[in-house]
Chains A and B, each alone.
Chain A
Amino acid sequence: MYKHSVELDVGKCTGCTTCIRHCPTEAIRIRDGRAVINEDRCIDCGECIRVCPSNAKKAMCSKMEHYSHYKWKIALPAPSLYGQFANLTDVETILQGLLDIGFDDVFEVARAAELVTECTRLYLKSEGIKKPVISSACPVVVRLISLRYPYLRDNIMPILPPIEIAAMMARKKAKEEHPELKDEDIGLFFISPCAAKVSYIRNGFGSYKSKIDVVVSMKDIYFKLLGAMKKGEQPTVSPTAGMIGIGWASSGGESSAILNDNYLAADGIENINKVLDAIENGNIPQLEFIELNACTGGCVGGVMTIENPFIARTRLQSVRRYLPVSLNRLPSDIHYVPENFYCSELPTYMPISRLSENFSESMRMMSRIQEIKKELPGIDCGACGSPSCRAFAEDLVRGAVKDITACKMYGTKKTQESDSDNQGEI
């Protein structure tokens, strides 16, 4: 079972139905007055966290303080962190701030992002790959494909996301510089913009297990970090990544860096679905690479960021301005993607929306759903606790709801002719 990181504070949930209508995979129901998330369908996009008016949904993250047993704590900041501070023109101040709040070293994820960019360019030149190649960096997208677009699974770039490569490099660096450290002494702390990365790190990628030890939320360390930065300690560290690596924080950064015109970048789940449906139908011709970010604006729009994504993007521009284009390259004698950058196995297709394992039974159930739907008012009010009348009919047929009278509007109005349903549903 996929382990998620979106958590409900039952005491705060009022059963208001806001989340069930915003969930892009219809994974939430209201049962007994409280939201219940279907783990099989959840893609960790964080939409419910964003829309909940009672702040009852949270992303589960670790607190730095609970991990004091690590002798050597390394912070791995996602580049989106650099867009969170006003009037900041250099990266050093943030890196120094991280050291000042208790980390022993900092390793910028943007460094690894620059290497992944290089690998992407190499990968795109390899023979026999399925194009367009889809970025594997946003875990929501990878999960969405495994649930909804099985045909596009082989288009996912089989290269590990920057956080994993950063983790490998950071550990190696620590051991080289401090040979006295044992593996268990080193703690790799990813500073994450989103809940999806938390889930990804827990679950891995196919059979691949993540190399990150602890995930800390950007929100959680923000004030502490801001305080440390305000002290204005003279930075003892210099930036280790350039414009390309930091550019990964916002939508379009990853794809524009592959220096190829045939790419597309889309952000927001609804847009992503449109793009993936179009690729599946073969009507986006001649594209080499597709960058998809679940969050509006890219990772700067992650649920654990502080700043509005558009402001963060502008801020990133000023942080990036005086940096070299790129500071990280593969060794010059390497003209292929290094073996340890590949992920051995992509996530497999999970037919979660299948009604039954037996085809004839699925047909019968579907036919019952169609009949019940005709009896329902078709106004998708959500008062029954299901996100739409169609979903309610399915919940009844699946036995998750016992009685049609759970529909508060039952018998009021009859519409619904076309077999269309909500946009986002899987």
Chain B
Amino acid sequence: MSECLTFHYDVDGEDFTSAGQASVQVKKNLRRLGIPPEIIRQVSIAMYEGEINMVIHAGGGNADVIVYEDRIEIILADKGPGIKDVALAMQEGYSTAPDSVRSLGFGAGMGLPNMKRYTDEMTIDTVVGEGTTIKMVVKLR
């Protein structure tokens, strides 16, 4: 199936206060496409967590949401430090978030597990020192 639509967002690593904006924008665009509310919520949560991670742990990056007839793909790519031990990072409660963001309520170590929970597929490509690309799929119907 070649017909698809891409929404592209720059996730600014410098501006912490605007973190989470891309997921709000995605919601609007998915509503315009008439995607069911439950799916919009799944995509928006996965996107939100990934976006925040890019801001907190990787200094920002890019987010692409690609809508196909049968699925939505979310691709989050950054040029941050990479994740040394993916299995460990995937564990609930594991976090290296600095104290400065913990006081805002981040750093529970729930982001990656939630991304997995709310999507149908998730793959993490990461190279220490080079960056991380996370691809998630939410199936339609």
Contact = CB atoms under 8 A, between A and B. Distances in A.
A280 B34 contact: no
Contacts of B22: 420
Nearest to B34: A354
Interface string B20-38: 1111110111011110011
B28 A421 contact: yes
Nearest to A364: B3
B2 to A, nearest CB: 12
Interface in A320-376: 349, 351, 353-357, 359-360, 362-363, 366-367, 370
Using C-beta atoms within 8 Å of the partner chain, give the interface range for chain A: 20 to 34
Contact of A282 (B8, B29, B45, B67): B45
Interface string A359-403: 110110011001000000000000000000000001000000000
A150 interface: yes
Given A349-B37, A362-B34, A425-B28, A419 B8 contact: yes
A419 B3 CA distance: 18
Contacts of B40: 151
A353 B32 CA distance: 5
A357 B31 CA distance: 12
A356 B34 CA distance: 7
A347 to B, nearest CB: 14
Interface string B21-61: 11111011101111001101100110010000000000000
Contacts of B69: 359-360, 363
A418 B45 contact: no
A363 to B, nearest CB: 6
B120 interface: no
Contact of A420 (B9, B34, B38, B48): B9
A417 B33 contact: no
Contacts of B9: 418-420
Nearest to B49: A281
Given A283-B105, A351-B34, A355-B33, A277 B24 contact: yes
Contact of A281 (B25, B33, B38, B44): B44
B97 to A, nearest CB: 14
Contact of A359 (B8, B31, B33, B41): B33
Contacts, number: 78
B7 interface: yes
Interface residues of B, number: 30
Contacts of B48: 281, 283
B10 interface: yes
B105 A285 contact: yes
A263 to B, nearest CB: 17
A367 B9 CA distance: 16
Nearest to A360: B69
B5 interface: yes
Interface string A279-302: 011110100000000000000000
Which of A148, A351, A354, A420 has its CB near the most chain B CB atoms (within 10 A)? A420
Which of A360, A362, A417 has its CB near the most chain B CB atoms (within 10 A)? A362
Contacts of B38: 151
A330 B80 CA distance: 59
Which of A281, A282, A360, A394 has its CB near the most chain B CB atoms (within 10 A)? A281
25 contacts: A151-B40, A277-B20, A280-B44, A281-B23, A281-B44, A281-B45, A281-B48, A282-B114, A354-B33, A355-B32, A355-B34, A359-B69, A362-B33, A363-B5, A363-B69, A366-B33, A370-B5, A417-B8, A418-B9, A419-B8, A419-B25, A420-B9, A420-B22, A425-B28, A426-B31
